Each structure stands twice: as C-alpha cells, then as structure tokens.
Structure 1
C-alpha cells in the first residue's frame, strides 16, 4: 500500500484544529507534520487537502443491515449499506446481531457474521440484542465480552418480539455490571403503547401520523426513567438509544447531573424532521415511521442543547431502511403494520456539518459526535475516531463549501426514497481513506465488498 501524504488541510479532532500534513504508512497514521514538511516528493501518494477539512472517518454505532422486522427485511445489505456509508464519510459501523427467543446468543452472532463477513466495504463490529434472558444467555454474555462484543441491547418496546420485562432487564444489567458490558436500551413503554395502538385502530385512526400519537413522549420518558432506576439498582452503566423527546432528555440530564454512568444518543431524523413529516398526506408519512417516533419541532431545541452539554453524547443513525413501495405500503389502512425504520447512514456526516453551518454545534463537536465519542463509547478508540499517530488511517477529506441536494436519485442506499428529498446542504465528502486505502475520491468509488475488517472491541472508555 505504501505511504500517503494528505497535505495542507485543516485537521480537526474533538479537541484541536491545526493545519498539518498527515503521513500514512500502510494502514496506519504515523505522523502529523508541519505543512510543507518536504515529504511530498517521497510519498507514494499525495492528496491535496488545501481549503478542506481532514477529519477521522465517521463511526456509526447504530445500524440495522438486513434486519428482519414486521414480515420483511431492511432493504440495505451489508454490501450496499457499507458502500453507502463510505459515500457519506462513515468508515466504521456497529450493527446489531439478534438473539431469537429460544436460541443462543452465539447462534445470533454467528448468523450476523454470515451476513456481514466478506461483504462489508468498511470496518464493522456488532452489538448483541438479547431477546431471551436465562442462565445460559448470562453465561454467554461473559464469553462474548471476552471476544470483543461488549455491548448488549434490550427492548422495553415490542411485546412478543424483542420485549423484556423489568426482571429480565435487571438480571442482564447485573451481568453487565459484573463483566464490564454496556447495556443499551430501547426505552419506550411497549405494554402501554400496545393498548393505545389498539384503541386508535378501533377508532379508525389508521394513518401514519397516529404512529407518533400512540408512542407518546411521556411513555419514552417513563421508560427512560425506569431504565435509569434499574441500572442504579444493578450498578450498571446505561446507554439509551435514539432519544427523541425533550422529556426523555430531562431524565438523562438529571441522571448525569447526579453522577450516574448514563449515556445517550440521538439521531439526525429527530434533529431535522418532525411530526409534520409523519403527517404528510397520501400515505407519504409512512416513509417517516420509526421508533422512537418523530416528535413536534419544539423538541429539537432540547436535543441540540443536550448535544452541546453532552447529556446526549453520540449521534448515530438507527439506519434501518424499508422501501416505500412494497414494504412501507404493508401498513396501508393500519399504521401498526408499517415497518419501523428510516434510511440515513449516508447522510449523517453531512447533516451534522450543516448543523455546524447553522450554528448548532462547533466543528470539533461535529467530529466528536460523529466519530470520536462513538469510538470511545464502544471500545474502538484510539484505533478509530481520531487522526493521530498509531490510529487506523480512516480519514475523510471534507469540502466545507460544496453544496449538494439530497435525493433518492443520487444517494447510494438501497432504498427508493430519501427522508431529506430536495434539501440543500453545505458540505460534502471529497476523499475517503479506509485503513489507508482510498475508497472514494472526486466522486469515484473504488471500494469493494469484503475489504472491511471485523472489529473486536474493548469496553467503554468512559467507564475507565
């Protein structure tokens, strides 16, 4: 692979901004050098980043490629989804392997390896969804942590599918407290939501917009509060996924103010979209059905504030795409049958840069939320999430002045709509290196399936 020199760019990390040349040897960054260091003539490859940002590749810690849900499957495979991620400047994903009820954790993990291994264009790891808490599963948790699967997700939602009651959640949290794992929680009161779903359908309220009404913000806040208290009892750290409601942010902020090891993420859809999209006419709102649901716009101010104060530490996508035609349409006449999920793995870095342009966050916070913090949260730092000597050469050269229009006509995700169709944003990926290899440059993709490596992860940096 030889040496690569990225010259003249503004190197942005979570803590610093410096104009520097970045020297890569093989798959690793070996030095940050003063501009004009004299290595231009000796490097095998030179990339001119003048006038551009040089940032670590994005780490999307919440994706669902090929996930089964509601009688269908997420439309992105590991091949198409990781290619789209690369187009958007993301060079690492962490997907969710699923334990089916009655089966072992190992069976679920092996099934996801079979889907992903040999098909990913970028590096990847796995969280483990626990659907069946028993003695065998608890023993397997210890084994998987030793093998680098160090985070386990549970659901307070979806009774009959992924749902775990409080006793099972407590038991798994206790195991995580003992073995160093991080418990991830989908915090919605699924039992109460199911009552509201049935009442809405019985009253003839069947359109997509009612998906948001029945998944009430207070039921997200209640479940978040309950998850925090269970984690306190267990002595376990907690990571709350896809936070959407200001009431839930308040629960998390209170816990963190009390010094508890409680962390949380939000997603671009909650920052840039709202119930106005969920209420679009002619069933168009089905494109925006996800859980937790989109909220009224007034929630966005609380989410942005949470991102600035670090009460929300990560922005992930919860990328789980279903095509409008043939998949989302399964819920015509019954919103509860609409597959829950939205596409976004290609858009996250650009939307967060737009947040920099709009004054919501700083450039360094952009890099922290999109790359450094998820790498630290899930045991990948300093290998991932930074441009520094010894780190993997996952590097994005980013053009902060380029304009683009987001559209299904030009995106690379395997889904027939864009949640941000027609939105003009400022900033665009120019060049992407994954472990030192240029896989995207000047609008030409040169990556390939199978070049991505599986990542065995250590435990959460923030708990050390």
Structure 2
C-alpha cells in the first residue's frame, strides 16, 4: 500500500506534463501514472500543478556577517519560511571568518541546523582564511565529506581574498572536484567611491547603490572568469545584478569559458529607486550588489530564460530594521554601516511562478529548472532531489495557479519583520508542501517538528561543460600549469 497518493494533478516530471497521480512510499516517489492504488493518506490535486519541491542554493541562515551582525533568522524560522514558499531543500552557508578553523565552523553550523531545521539542508563553506592547513587538510576533508561547494568574496574587508588566494582555491577545487561560488565586486572601486561619498556628506541609503557601481561587479566578474580559465575549472558567479555583467557572462560562455551564474528576485522586481525612499526606508532595499535599473531587470530576465543564468536563488540575508541589523546607529546610520541584505526565502518561488510562468515569460519546465532541477545538478543533489521521478525523494509542492495573494509582513514566516515586496499581488501559491513524503504545510499550517530536516551529504557537482561557438576554441590546460597545480590527468 502507498503511504500517500496525490491524485489528478498536472505533474511536471522530467520534461513532461502528466495529468495523473503520484504515489509515495517510504519517503520516496514509488509510482507516477493514472488511477494509482489507494494511499493511507490522499490529496486531491485537481486544478493544481504538482512540482518538485524548490531548492534554494543561496541563503544566509543563523550567520554572523563580516561586520558582526547576526541574521534575524535561525534554522527553525528560515526553514519554516522556506517551506511555506514551496521550498523543501536549502543550501545555506557555514561561514568561516578570519582565524576560524573549518572543522569548528562545520561542527557549529551542523549542530544548530540539526536541532532546528524542518526541511532538508546541506552547506556551502564560506572561505575567508585560506592558509596552508585549510587548503591542504581541512578543505579536502570537508569536500570528501560532502561539502562540495565553496564561496569566496572579492570584496568586504573582513572576508575578501586576494587574487593569488583565489587562484589557490580554484586549483584546489579542480583537484578535489568542488565548485567555487564567487561574490564578484571590485573592492577598491567600492572603497574609493564610498570614501568620497561620505566625505562629501552623502550618507543616505541611496548612496549604497552609487558606491557599488555596476562597473565594480562587471570588472570583478571579468577577473574571476579569467582566473577560472587560467586554472581551467568552472566557477559560479552569484547574485548577478547588472546588464553588463549578464552580457559579459554570455560572451564568455560563447567563447567556451565554463562560467556559471545565478540571479535573485531583487534583481527582477526591485530597482535602485527603491533605495531612495524617505528617511531610512531605503535601507530595507540595500543589498550587495544592489538592484540596478529597468534595463538590468530585463537583462536578468533574458539571462534566466536563455540559460545564461542557470539558477535562481533568494540570497536570503534577513536583518531586522532596527539597531541589531539595518540601523546600528538609528537614523544616524550611514549607508556604509547598515547591514547588507534582505529577506526573500519565502517569496522566491511565488514571485517567479507569478511573473515568470503565469505571465508567459517562461514555460513550466523552465520554472522547474530554475526553481529546483538545476540546483540539484550543480550542487551534487541529483537524482535524489529536484525532480519528480521514481526513486527520488518525495519532495513536492502543489501550486494553485488561481490563488491571488497580496504580500504583507504578517503573511510571512521569517523573523525580519518586513518584506521588500510588501503590497505586491502574486498569482499562484504553493498550498501543500511535502518533504520526503511528509506533508509539512497544508491549509496554511505547519506540520513538521524542529530538527526533522535531514542533512544532505552531496556528491560532486554535475557541471555542464560548454563548447565554444563558431571557430573559437577553449584555452587548453597545458602541461606546465598542470604540474604547477599538482594535477595528473589521463588524456
């Protein structure tokens, strides 16, 4: 007998739409078809889309920033919020700060997540201290234990790596088969602009966008791509915001560079004008890189639709709108002193379902790829996650395309206390959410216990290698460089 049967839904399964049923047994998908056997529990999905549970592969949870500010969400509130938004797996960061050991960082985050998470989770490792022990012992051990992705920063005084350090990390990633995620902004450009803005008395939130000029993102992205080509290892540029950066990535891919990229809701639905609201209200809309203009919004949409940008993540970085987060000095806080980041883990998928799929910008298969499948492939979770297929985990979301919701802070389940999308009307909503066969959200209520999420030990990233277009050829990985990075390969 099946444990759960979902009947009469529009099931999106491996590139097909099937009008029928999904049967679940022992936490996994057992059957897909019509007129399946009865289950101990049954759900009528008539008129609703049955989609893979979302995977959010870029979110900050219970993490202290480089400036020492703690996120508003712990692993309980963040995973509850994710679940109500149709997400059943998250990959947040275990953040190493200067002077911290990787084993200690992973032990700390693992303990907190195990106690509180209600959905499944893995970790990326933020790397700020790439010393010899970290590179030679701790990181290889962590990667082989299932932390197969690393994040590095090219900006932020307390987090950034020099180019030579980044090359060391890329060489290690090639050797150990890990994926390096890069926050690409030119630190010195931002520092130079910030100093001159502040000395002229320009302190308001809107000047955050001016300090983080779009050229800072584009230049750093170019440099990161060049370094990845030198080592001949894929690199993933996170939270791509500007139109010039999208075009740079597209051109690099056409040349055969193995550069991957993601973007986020704020770059589709917000602009720099949002930071120019009265008083300190604009601080609610400040993140790094900041939202740009309408031209950049359209460029990000095109990039997501044509595959230049492969994943769509929340970059959920929630801070309270008070002295603990956004406004450490109250109304006297300058744009340089406030916490960068905004909440978005719960609305990530509803926004894309409404304005991407239902608005006709993309088909349902593109939505599923951006919401779940591509994340699972890139981060070593496939075929267990990100798809509706026999044998996969029964992570599912039942979406009502007719339901309309007007966003208010009270609607959401995170601890930020505000949302940058307040007042927006969204069409389409995940009404039932299932994690490993457990119905964890139904009728607007949570049915999951603290600590019931499982840790995911991930495999090697499944990165699609790109071939150059036309007569162009990829840069060969020569024998001298192979010797320098200590890699022996059968050719």
**TM-score range, shorter-chain basis?**
over 0.9
Structure 1 partner of 2:39: 43
Q: CA deviation at 1:463?
A: 4.7
The CA distance in 2 between the partners of 1:47 and 1:10, in whole Å, is: 13
Structure 1 partner of 2:485: none
CA contact (8 A) 2:287 2:341 kept: yes
Range that drifts further, 353-362 or 56-65:
353-362
TM-score (norm 2): 0.92
Structure 2 partner of 1:291: 288
CA contact (8 A) 1:275 1:297 kept: no
Structure 2 partner of 1:16: 16
Structure 2 partner of 1:247: 244
Structure 2 partner of 1:415: 416
CA contact (8 A) 1:14 1:372 kept: no
CA contact (8 A) 1:96 1:126 kept: yes
Structure 2 partner of 1:426: 427
Q: For residues 144-198 of structure 1, what are the alpha-carbon distances to aligned partners after superposition, in whole Å with 9 as ceiling and x for unaligned?
A: 1110000011000102x11101000001101101110001000000122111111
Range that drifts further, 106-115 or 389-398:
106-115
CA contact (8 A) 1:14 1:367 kept: no
Q: CA deviation at 1:256?
A: 1.1
CA contact (8 A) 1:13 1:367 kept: no
Q: CA deviation at 1:2?
A: 5.8
Q: For residues 107-162 of structure 1, what are the alpha-carbon distances to aligned partners after superposition, in whole Å with 9 as ceiling and x for unaligned?
A: 21112112211210000000001101122111222111110000011000102x11
1:103 aligns with 2:100: yes
How do 1:264-303 and structure 2 match up within 5 A? 264-303=261-300
How do 1:138-153 and structure 2 match up within 5 A? 138-139=135-136, 140-153=138-151
The CA distance in 1 between the partners of 2:97 and 2:114, in whole Å, is: 20
Structure 1: gaps of 5 or more residues: none
How do 1:52-451 and structure 2 match up within 5 A? 52-69=48-65, 70-139=67-136, 140-159=138-157, 161-326=158-323, 327-330=325-328, 332-333=331-332, 334-354=334-354, 355-451=356-452
CA RMSD of aligned residues (A): 1.3
Q: For residues 40-79 of structure 1, what are the alpha-carbon distances to aligned partners after superposition, in whole Å with 9 as ceiling and x for unaligned?
A: xx31111100000000000000011111123321100001
The CA distance in 2 between the partners of 1:12 and 1:280, in whole Å, is: 41
TM-score (norm 1): 0.97
**1:149/1:462 Cα in 2 relative to 1: closer, same or farther (>3 Å)?**
same
The CA distance in 2 between the partners of 1:448 and 1:259, in whole Å, is: 47
CA contact (8 A) 1:13 1:368 kept: no
CA contact (8 A) 1:14 1:368 kept: no
The CA distance in 2 between the partners of 1:375 and 1:3, in whole Å, is: 25
CA contact (8 A) 2:96 2:129 kept: yes
Q: CA deviation at 1:364?
A: 1.1
CA contact (8 A) 2:14 2:388 kept: no
Q: CA deviation at 1:359?
A: 2.0
Structure 2 partner of 1:27: 27
The CA distance in 2 between the partners of 1:25 and 1:309, in whole Å, is: 37
Q: For residues 386-420 of structure 1, what are the alpha-carbon distances to aligned partners after superposition, in whole Å with 9 as ceiling and x for unaligned?
A: 01100000011110110001110211111111110
